[in-house]
Amino acid sequence: MTHSFFGGVYPATRKDNTKRKPMTRLSQTPREIVIPLLMCSDGPSTPLVSPGDPVTVGQPIARRGETGAAAHASVSGRVRDIVPWPHPWGGQSPAILIDNDERGTPYDGQLPPLDPRQFTLAQVLKRVETAGVVGMGGGAFPSQDKIARSAGKIDTLIVNAAECEPYVTADYRLLLERSENILRGAQALALCLGAERVVVVTEGDKLNAVEAVERRLRRKGASRVNILPVRTCYPLGAEKQIIQTVTGREVPPKGSPLDVKCAVFNVATVYAIHDALFQGKPITHRAVTVTGGAVTRPRNLWVPIGTPLRHLLESCGGLRETPDRMLIGGPMMGIALTNLDVPVTKDTNCLLCLTGWEHKPDLPGGVCIRCGKCVGACPMHLAPTIIRRALEEQDLKRLSKYNLEDCNACGCCSFICPAQIPLVETVAQAAVFVKRGGKQ
């Protein structure tokens, strides 16, 4: 049984160009790999290598200090330098530059697999941290911290393969092609967290993935695991919305999934946890969709972490026309891209190159006509038009009551606004205004 959540919008999915294309490896790995030290939402990591050091595939090259997540070489070769480099999240970050020797020499210190009948929570936390697993659905939070917070406090584990952003099909292909490992990882995670049931959520139009998972569930006899196909409604993949869809429970304002005894992990994160536990592998590769009307041959690729986005485009035949907009991620929440030298990071799921007809033109925001569409579309029960008015009046007292921290920047309000007012940015500015106590 599925439930509905308030609000949401229905953008065109535009996934047909890639959803039937299997993940393929690069025919030629790039000569230079760039591993940013900033791979985690809580800050940069500490390097373990120096210029001139040889490295092998899977070798630790950065560790978690007070912040950050462990990073590993995705190719073998030699460290050229550690320098500031353009980062996909914006600005620059220190990065480890590796000259690829194209031999793919594996690291000889790979950890042994854990026995699922005997592992402890402490072992799982240590292994996940050592493997450098972070939230790969966009959050990039340290996964071991989330596991530690959730252990013993949940009854439902949700594996998020909904992938509601238009164009993106990387998670779908991962679920379709590697479902056995994902299910095994989900069962191990549920055992570790004390969850009574596991629900794998995917879009209802992706019947191939649903059938693949159901076949494996029948063969394995995994009674606590279910596959749940749901009707696509953006932002279904957001944590609070997917919890409400699966369980009917609503996370309270300023609350967390633990308040309703749930934990949500992206399907790519669960796959990475499986590899860490049962194969001793760190994150060195991930699935990335390269698509958009400007791309010559849209594809799903299995690529080394640190691959420059320029190389991904070249492996897809380059651009057939000059893109009007390039994004990392989908068109609703993607980060605008101006430099193709930025590398693939652990949370990179898509390189999107859009032509002019594929998106709304950037026009100056018009005058609010008070239609209320933004209020009806906001899945977090916010009122963007009222927030905008209070911000214009610099009314700190009113803004402090509007639960601005609940905004997940999904973009529904801006998408639906007939006046094309940049409401997402407006709500973000209001949140900063409140945080600063009314100071600009």
Tens digit of each residue's pLDDT (9 = 90 or more) over 331-369: 999 999 989 999 999 999 999 999 988 877 666 667 888
The Cα–Cα gap between 408 and 318 comes to: 33
- The β-bridge partners of 203 are 230
- pLDDT the model gives residue 25: 96
* 389 Cβ contact list (under 8 Å, min separation 6): none
The Cα–Cα gap between 372 and 382 comes to: 11
The Cα–Cα gap between 430 and 362 comes to: 22
Q: Which residue has the tokens 């609000």?
A: 7
Q: Which two tokens stand for residue 14?
A: 């535009």
DSSP one-letter string for 78-139: EEEEEEEEE-TTSSEEEEEEEEE-SS-PBPTTPPPPPPTTT--HHHHHHHHHHTT-B-TTTT
Length of the chain (residues): 440
Query: Residue type at 191?
Result: L
CB 16 within 8 A of CB 167: no
- pLDDT the model gives residue 362: 65
Check: CATH 3.40.50.11540 for 121-278?
yes
Task: Tell me 112's DSSP state.
Answer: P
Residues of the chain with pLDDT under 50: none
The Cα–Cα gap between 125 and 146 comes to: 10
Tens digit of each residue's pLDDT (9 = 90 or more) over 410-422: 999 999 999 989 9
CB 387 within 8 A of CB 174: no
CB 62 within 8 A of CB 79: no
The Cα–Cα gap between 218 and 330 comes to: 34
Phi-psi region of 327 (alpha: psi -120 to 50; beta: other; left: phi over 0): beta
- pLDDT the model gives residue 117: 79
- pLDDT the model gives residue 222: 61
Q: Which two tokens stand for residue 327?
A: 């994004």
Strand, coil or helix: 354: strand
| Residue 132 φ/ψ, nearest 5 degrees | 75, 30
- pLDDT the model gives residue 327: 96
- pLDDT the model gives residue 277: 96
- The β-bridge partners of 55 are 77
Sequence ranges of the domains in the chain: 121-278, 373-435
Strand, coil or helix: 21: coil
